[in-house]
Structure 1
Amino acid sequence: MTRVLVLYYSSYGHVRALAQAEAEGAQSVPGTHVDLRRVPETVPEEIQRKAGFAADDTPVAVPADLETYDAIIFGTPTLFGMMAGQMKSFLDQAGGLWARNALVGKVAAVFTSTGSQHGGHEATLLSTQIPLQHFGMLIAGMPYTFAGQTTAEGIVGGAPYGAGTIAGADGSRHPTETDLAGARFQGAHVARIAARLAGTTWQEEAA
């Protein structure tokens, strides 16, 4: 079976909702096994309580887990136009995988949640892809075959670079059905690509 990991960080539940939709989409592809995991929280519990962080009982991943999957879909909120520090810290701990080329040829994708339409939505999707390319992963976006991203009827998250949602400045806005449909689409898209690549042997090419 093709193994897909949906790995995310979420403070208030928006990215978690998208992550669940990504997992549903990937699971809809026959022959796919999907795991849903989150990266460890780094914010002290007292600050979490004061800030109203949402409780999350999703199992926590460790960097060594990444090697066992054919595809990994990364979800992170936008913080100051970039991925959350929790996700960056997790990736920074995967240097051993990078040194062994352990992630070369695996499929990767990114999704995000942003407070506003112009608060770094696309910047986060694109910049999060950078370290994944350093790992040698193959980036899958959210192509325009998902027509929902082109609608002008209301606020829509996501872009050709990945699925997404707009949470609002106070976080009160929840993912719309279009946003969730985009996440399901991307999850299935990644699973299909991973299935096609499964069994391919990647060899290092020396120049």
Structure 2
Amino acid sequence: MTKVLVLYYSAGGHTATLAKAVAEGATATGAEVKLKRVPDLDEGTVPKRRSPDIEVAVPEELVDYDAIIIGSPTRFGRLCAQVANFLDQTVQTWKEGKLIGKVGGAFTSTASQHGGSESTIFSILTSMMHHGIITVGLPYSFKGLLEMDEPAGGSPYGATTMTGSDGSRWPSEVELAGARYQGAHIADVAHALSAGRAFISDRS
């Protein structure tokens, strides 16, 4: 069975909401899906205050999955420090090439329509490509990307949502549908590649 990790950081709950939708989409394909969060930078030194019911991931476990989908809120047009810190701890995994041939994708939340959602996704995908991960976005077969009836997030690079400057806006049905579609699409790609992954990973 294809194993998928949906990994995220969420300060206000918006990225967490997208993450749950991504996980729902991947689960619908028959994949075994784990929803986990990256730790706060002060995890363990203060009481847990964000998503206490969601298990914290460790960098070493990334090798256990066929697909890794990472979500981060935007911080000045790039991934947040918590996700960056987590990825910075995967150097040994990178040295050993243990993520080569796996499938990956990214999603994000921003405060505004032009808040850097695409550059944030790129900043996550860049790390994935250094690991040799095969990156997958949100294709235009998801018709919600052409939605013009209301303001909506979403891009061919990954699912997105807008929170508003005060955090009062929550993911719309179109945005949640995009997250589910992306989760299913990435899981489907991982399913399709699973037979050939050993060859890809072992190629010298």
Judge which range, 74-83 or 55-64, deviates more.
55-64
**Pick from 162, 165, 179: which aligns with 1:166?**
162
Q: CA deviation at 1:57?
A: 2.0
**Which consecutive residues of structure 2, in runs of 5 or more, have no partner in the other structure?**
none
Q: CA deviation at 1:154?
A: 1.3
Distance 1:116 1:137, change over 3 A: same
The alignment's C-alpha RMSD in Å is 1.8
SS at match of 1:157: coil
Aligned to 1:22: 22
Aligned to 2:13: 13
1:132 paired to 2:128:
yes
CA distance in 2, matches of 1:171, 1:47: 24
Distance 1:121 1:172, change over 3 A: same
**Pick from 173, 178, 181: which aligns with 2:174?**
178
Aligned to 2:82: 86
CA distance in 2, matches of 1:175, 1:56: 21
% same residue: 47
CA distance in 2, matches of 1:65, 1:155: 37
**Pick from 115, 130, 141: which aligns with 1:119?**
115
SS at match of 2:195: coil
Aligned to 2:97: 101
Aligned to 1:37: 36
Task: Provide the aligned length of Structure 1 versus Structure 2.
Answer: 201
CA distance in 2, matches of 1:44, 1:101: 28
1:190 paired to 2:189:
no
Q: CA deviation at 1:150?
A: 1.2
Question: What is the one-letter code of the residue matched to 2:112?
Answer: S
1:115-160 deviations in whole A, cap 9, x for unaligned? Answer: 0011101111112110100000000000000010111111111100
CA distance in 2, matches of 1:179, 1:72: 20
TM-score by length of 2: 0.94
Aligned to 2:73: 77
Aligned to 1:204: 203
CA distance in 2, matches of 1:172, 1:54: 17
CA distance in 2, matches of 1:75, 1:18: 8
TM-score by length of 1: 0.92
Q: CA deviation at 1:42?
A: 1.2
- Superposed structure 1 runs of 4+ greater than 4 Å apart: 43-49
1:44-75 deviations in whole A, cap 9, x for unaligned? Answer: 899999xxx75442000000110000000000
Question: What is the one-letter code of the residue matched to 2:184?
Answer: A
